[in-house]
């Protein structure tokens, strides 16, 4: 770990709706204590929450790693799960593979991944069907 870097890792269990959202709450708390600008903190909060909910809804298990340095806030997400067959389609607003159960809970508007991308300065996604998905989300600090 670089001298001016803070890192934290969180584990998320698929279908664990009772604890869903805790990781992003935790990340928010850390960013507030670090004095991160509220607008930037909010973008990270939205992106990390969407990513966390994707893990809970679709993956078997996964982890989220937060890295903060004076230049940026970065979140690495890695899950074991079904993966995404057509990433381009998944990135389209309104496209969703959510089950009726997920929709009942207010998810499945097909805005998750697009929302993450919209709130990130840098976003990468890769996936292997039957293995899992990885996300790289970076939000830059203002100069």
Partner 1 sequence: MAAQYHHSLRFDAERCNGCMACMRACPTAAVRVRKGKAVKLMDRCIDCGECIKVCTQGVIVPLTDQISDLSRFQRRVAIPSPAMYAQFDPEVLPGVIFAALKKCGFHDVECLSRACDEVTAATEIFVGEYRGRFPLISSFCPAVVRLVQVEYPGLVSQMLPLLSPREITARDAKVRRSAEMGLPIDQIGAIYITPCPAKIVSILEHPGMKRSYLDAAIAISDLFQDLAKAVDEVGETDENMDGSETASGVSWAFLGGLPRSLPAEHTFSVAGLSNVIRILDDVEKGKLRNYCFIECHACPEGCVGGCLTVENPYVARGKAIKLRQQLPSGPSMHKEDVVRRYRNGDYLMDEPLAARPLRPLGEDISTAIIRMRERARLLSDLPGIDCGACGAPSCRAFAEDVVMGEAADEACVLAGR
Q: Which residues bind partner 1 (CB under 8 A)?
A: 1, 3-6, 8, 21, 24-25, 28, 30, 32-36, 38-39, 41-42, 45-46, 49-50, 68-70, 106, 115, 141
Q: How far is the CB of 22 from partner 1 (least distance, A)?
A: 10
Task: Give the nearer residue to partner 1 in terms of CB position, either 27 or 127.
Answer: 27
Task: Give the nearer residue to partner 1 in terms of CB position, either 65 or 131.
Answer: 65
**Contact indicator for 135, 34 with CB cutoff of 8 Å:** no
Q: How far is the CB of 78 from partner 1 (least distance, A)?
A: 21
Task: Give the nearer residue to partner 1 in terms of CB position, either 76 or 80.
Answer: 76
């Amino acid at each position: 770990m670089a001298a001016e870097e803070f890192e934290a890792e969180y584990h998320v269990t698929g279908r664990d709706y009772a604890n869903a959202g805790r990781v992003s709450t935790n990340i928010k708390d850390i960013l507030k204590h670090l004095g991160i600008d509220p607008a930037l903190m909010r973008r990270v909060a939205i992106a990390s929450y969407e990513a966390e909910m994707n893990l809970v809804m679709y993956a078997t298990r996964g982890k989220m790693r937060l890295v903060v340095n004076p230049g940026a806030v970065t979140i690495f997400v890695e899950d074991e799960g079904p993966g995404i067959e057509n990433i381009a389609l998944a990135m389209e607003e309104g496209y969703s593979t959510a089950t009726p159960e997920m929709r009942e809970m207010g998810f499945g508007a097909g805005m998750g991944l697009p929302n993450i991308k919209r709130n990130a300065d840098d976003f990468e996604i890769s996936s292997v069907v039957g293995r899992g998905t990885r996300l790289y989300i970076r939000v830059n600090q203002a100069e």
